[in-house]
Amino acid sequence: MTREEDKRMNIRTTFRFTLPNGKGVKAEAGRKVTGTMRLIQVKDLVLIETAESVKARSGNFYVILLSRVISELGKEGMLNQKIIERIFCMRSIIR
């Protein structure tokens, strides 16, 4: 295996991130919340584009996208679209 092939084999597919306030997520008030997300796949885009809620309101695209790629978020047990919507709502209230 060449060095270039070895580099291609070690592509990261998951990434850690931090929400600075933790608003809208199960956490201690005002604490940072960490999470993990994966790279988006073509099948994610296809499913999102065909979703009725995205056709009705284009703003739902990002909510559905994040609910598909975020695999872990703070102390949340199961991550779904409602939790992502809550984060977006809290962010707009804070501004």
Hey, where are the domains in the chain? 3-94
The pLDDT assigned to 25 comes to 67
What are the residues whose beta carbons fall under 8 Å from the beta carbon of 66, sequence distance 6 or more? 37, 84
Of the candidates 67, 62, 63, 71, which has an alpha carbon nearest to the alpha carbon of residue 14?
Answer: 71
Burial 24-59 (b: 16+ CB within 10 A, else e): bbebeeeeebebebeeeeeeeeeebeeeeebeeeee
Lowest mean pLDDT across 7-21, 28-42, 80-94: 80-94
Is 46 within 8 Å of 80 (Cβ atoms)? no
Q: What is the pLDDT of residues 1-23, one digit of tens each?
A: 566 666 666 788 999 988 877 66
Radius of gyration of the chain (CA): 16
